[in-house]
Every structure is written in structure tokens, then in C-alpha cells.
Amino acid sequence: MQKRPPVLQHTTYRVLAGAPPQEKKLLTVGISSVQRPHGSALLDTLRSLFHVSSGPELRCIVVLVHLSGPDPEWLRQMAADISSLFQSHIEARELLVIHGRLGGSPVPGDPGDAGNSSPCATVYSRQKVDYTLLMNFALSLSEYFLMIEDRVQCTPKFVSAIYWALSAWRERPWVTLEFSGLSFSGKVFHTSDLARLTEFLLLFAKDVPTHLLLSEFRLLLAQHVPIRFSSSVFHPVRSYSMPADTCFPVEKEPAFGEPDNPVASVLTDMRTVSSSLPEYAYVLNKESYYTLHPLRGNHLTVVLERPQKVIRVEVLTGSDKQGLYRLQQGQVELGYSPLPHSEGCAHYALLGPLVEGHLDQRVFYAADSAEQLSCIRLLVLAAQDSWLLIRQIRVWTQPEEEEESWRHKGSSAQTGPGQAVFTTGQK
């Protein structure tokens, strides 16, 4: 991975519509679209993306579409349709459509390789080449790169959601932030990592599933647990057509139901005001915990009566509608090895920073990990010269019958003993 592959040294591109932005953007929204026998949902995806994005949001991004296919008539027609429907965005340099080709040495497992007979291997190989061409072109367009598929529905203000999450994580190390449970859509990378990612994909261009390589890449760069925002901002609009049905995992959002906060005590070193009690932050009712002028290092810690398999944690601060009195800088940590007399835990691991005063995360465990959560700690990272409202801490635990099944089947997450795999979100 230290030497650029010949196929990337001789890559060629044609710009089919638009022009690169004149200044570097915050985010490139990268879409790879291939010709399919049953039609394409690319135009619907672009309609959704531009419809839900405001003018200020669009000024932060450039949408880069890579069209892939051997049929020149299809390429011409798709470029013409995009140019006709999204002319204003093309003129504003918010949308760029390209077609690329790899050069130099053949790619191992290329679809034209006679030794590549597996249908899924052909799909994976073509997909790796397409994403490589897309990312390679995006190297200098923006600070971050967002990957989405050509058949998704975008939720309103998804650009803002990503912007605020990137701001919260800016000073923390990460390789991939995930804004959807889908295999490809919603993954954000540092653009500075794209060169290594494209080379990594080409190392396994024959029959290794692309989505697995994306997980392996973050492990290679020492991000040992996923960071996934559980409030997905992308949803599929069409199911995969054959043969892709057999080549990609079924993607479904889990149904959690209502939180079941287990019995716990609540500790805090924040200033208690009037009749507001720390327990109000954890009880599942309309009560909330108020405090005044929290200081850096202050905490509110939930100490579970017994260790639990917690599968999701949500922390809400600030008023429900206006967002007043939220914790401006804070993070949530998971605690292990409980101390005697319910005094907290011996060690904590970061779950994630609050994003606009909120955090919503799923928690998974490694198959060989027997350690369970004992504490959930909300930590103040900067003094706040105002009121703080901790509206609610909500916890979901794994039912005992599912836990027993989990012990037998294990987990697909790749972490060390005692480490939690988490997904992060906001409301």
C-alpha cells in the first residue's frame, strides 16, 4: 500500500456534465451508478437529495456521480437526463457527473477475467473498480467524503446532521462515521484516507465482498469499533435485483420498542438545585434533572444494580422543542468493573460525544466477551455559564432469552474483550 498501483497511475476520466467546484468543499457526496437491466433509481436519488437540502447546506457539498457501464448510449442518455433535470445545480457547480476507466495492469478478478466465473465475484469486482474510480476522482474536492448508493431516499437536513456530527468528532480519532445501517450508504471518510482506501480495495478485487473490506479498512487504521449514528439518514428505495440479492446481506433496521431502564442508582457531583433530584434524569417519566453552572469534569453516573447486556443508550439534554439548556460540550462513557458500595466503575470507555446535546447509540459485544456494562456516565467537557437540563437517560437491555442465544451464536462485531461496539445517533 506504499506504492500507488499502475491502474491508478493511468486512470482516465471524462466529465459528462458539470465542472469541479472552484473551492474545496466540506463534503463530497459520492454516488456510483451502474447500468442495470431493470432500470436505475439514480434520478430519484438525486431528486431526493436536492429536495431535502437547503441552499446553505448545498453550498457545503458537491455531489459527484460516477456512471459505470460499457454502453455509450446509456452513458449519453443518463448524462442528458441529469443535465436536463438538475441544470441549476450543475450551473452552480453543486453536481458533477463523470465516467472513468482504469489503466495500466489488469485488475485481479476484473469482470473480463476468464477465470472469474462466480456471479458474486463479478459483482464485487465491478463494484470495487467503480468505487475506486469514484474516490480517486474525489481526492482534492473536499475535506470529507460521503458514500451513498444510487437507490436511496435522503431524510431532510441530512447534510446538517452530518455537519454537526463531524464538528463533535473533529478532535477525536476516527476512520469511518456511519450515518445508516446500510452496507454502503452513509459512510463518511476523511478525504486524506481515500488514496489508501482505493489501493486497499484493489488488493482484494476478486471475490471478497466490498462491504467487508470497508470494515477491515477501519480496523487496519486502528478504529477498532464502528461509530454508527442510529438515526439513519438514508433509506433504500428499491431492493437489490438478481444476482445482487444473493451477494449482499439483508439490511433491516432493528425494532427496539420502548426503553426498559434497569434498576440503578444515580450519582452526580453537580450542584443540586431546589427539589430537582439526579434520579429524575433516569426515571422514565416527564421529570427532568436541572442543575446550574456545570463545571468541566462534572458527571452524572448511572450505576446499574447488576451488570447488564445493554444494547442501546440514549441521552437527551436541553428542552424538547427549543433545545435550550442543553449540554454544550459533553460525552457519554460506558463503565465496567463496578466499585463496591455503588460508587461507580473502575474503568470507562468512550461511547461518543453529544451531538447538539443528544446521543443515541446501539451497543454490541464481541463474541468472546463475557463482560457486561455496569455504569453509564455523562461527563461535562467544558464549564457552562447557564442552566443545564438533563431531560432523560434511556436504556435498552437484551432480553435474557436473546442473551442466551447470543452467547451460543456469538457476535459479528470485531472487538477485544470488554470493549463495546457502538452506533451513534441524534434526534
User: CB atoms < 10 A from the CB of 296, how many?
Assistant: 11
Looking at per-residue confidence, does 148 or 39 come out higher? 148
Nearest Cα to Cα of residue 151 among 27, 33, 29, 17: 33
Backbone angles phi, psi at 32, to 5 degrees: -105, 125
Q: Are 64 and 28 in contact (CB under 8 A)?
A: yes
65/290 Cα distance (integer angstroms): 48
Nearest Cα to Cα of residue 357 among 416, 395, 315, 397: 315
415/59 Cα distance (integer angstroms): 38
Nearest Cα to Cα of residue 138 among 217, 191, 188, 174: 191
253/105 Cα distance (integer angstroms): 41
Looking at per-residue confidence, does 239 or 182 come out higher? 182
Residue 322, phi-psi category: left (phi > 0), alpha (psi -120 to 50), beta (remainder): alpha
Q: Are 131 and 178 in contact (CB under 8 A)?
A: no
Exposed / middle / buried, residue 47 (Cβ in 10 Å: 0-12, 13-18, 19+): middle
Q: Are 393 and 334 in contact (CB under 8 A)?
A: no
Q: Which residue, chain included where needed, has cell 444494547?
A: 311
Where is average pLDDT lowest: 3-17, 170-184, 219-233, 235-249?
235-249
User: One fold for both 6-247 and 264-423?
Assistant: no
Q: What is the 3-state secondary structure (H, E, C) of 209-263?
A: CHHHHHHHHHHHCCCCCCEECCCCCEEECCCCCCCHHHHCCCCCCCCCCCCCCCC
21/92 Cα distance (integer angstroms): 8
Looking at the DSSP bridge assignments, the partners of residue 228 are: 178, 423
199/4 Cα distance (integer angstroms): 7
Q: Which helix (H) or strand (E) holds 351?
A: strand 345-353
16/14 Cα distance (integer angstroms): 6
According to DSSP, the β-strands at 358-365 and 420-423 are: antiparallel
Name the most confidently modeled range: 42-56, 267-281, 368-382. Answer: 42-56
Nearest Cα to Cα of residue 403 among 308, 269, 295, 292: 308
User: CB atoms < 10 A from the CB of 234, how many?
Assistant: 23
Domain limits, the chain: 6-247, 264-423
Residue 249 to residues 20, 182, 354, 364: CA-CA distances in angstroms? 35, 9, 31, 18
296/94 Cα distance (integer angstroms): 41
Using a pLDDT cut of 70, give the percent of the chain over it: 83
Mean pLDDT along residues 398-410:
56
Query: For residue range 58-72, what is the model confidence (pLDDT) as tens digits?
Result: 999 999 999 998 889
The pLDDT assigned to 275 comes to: 84
Query: For residue range 90-139, what is the model confidence (pLDDT) as tens digits?
Result: 999 999 999 998 875 444 444 445 454 577 788 888 889 999 999 999 99
CATH architecture group of domain 6-247: Alpha-Beta Complex (3.90)
CATH topology of domain 264-423: Jelly Rolls (2.60.120)
Return mean pLDDT, the chain.
Answer: 85
330/352 Cα distance (integer angstroms): 9
According to DSSP, the β-strands at 95-101 and 61-68 are: parallel
Looking at per-residue confidence, does 49 or 400 come out higher? 49
386/325 Cα distance (integer angstroms): 7
* Count of residues making up the chain: 427
End-to-end CA distance of the chain: 39
The pLDDT assigned to 273 comes to: 84
Using a pLDDT cut of 90, give the percent of the chain over it: 58
Give this prediction's pTM: 0.84
Q: Which helix (H) or strand (E) holds 30?
A: strand 25-34
User: CB atoms < 10 A from the CB of 231, how many?
Assistant: 16
